[in-house]
Amino acid sequence: MHVYGAVVDNATRCVHYHTEKDIIAIKFKCCNRYYPCYKCHEEDADHSIERWPQEQFDELAILCGNCHTELTIRQYMNAVSCPHCHAIFNERCANHYHIYFEQAAKEE
């Protein structure tokens, strides 16, 4: 699986995010390409990011950089580690979900 952007190792870490837990790449809906992060996409792609709609959260769109298994968006969002190799994911990535994935409207 090819990962685009400023990748620094085989575990999909990039120049922007490269801690021990930064081991996922995201397939961007807009271009069907894996990137380690939105910053890599912004630097490499010539188009805006298109977010994954909730009805497509069962699509394989997350790549574990440790074992190179593809996960669905739903699997990834509901896990703290890879269900296949058990490598721990960076919990702070959830702060960027709104960039990659449509979020449910909050009730008031």
pLDDT tens-place string over residues 9-36: 999 999 999 999 999 999 999 999 999 9
CA distance 18 to 29: 23
For the segment 70-87, the average pLDDT, to the nearest whole number, is: 97
Structure tokens at 106: 């909050």
Sign of the C-alpha dihedral, residues 75, 78, 40, 86? negative
Residue 96 has pLDDT above 60, yes or no: yes
Mean pLDDT, rounded, for 70-80: 96
Side chain identity at 95, as an amino acid letter? N
According to the model, what pLDDT value does residue 1 have?
A: 87
The predicted pLDDT at position 105 comes to 53
Strand partners, 28: 33
What does the pLDDT average to over 29-47? 97
Q: What is the mean pLDDT of residues 38-43?
A: 97
* Beta-sheet strands, E only, within 1-108: 24-28, 33-35, 60-64, 70-72
State how far the Cα of 88 lies from the Cα of 56, in Å rounded to an integer. Answer: 24
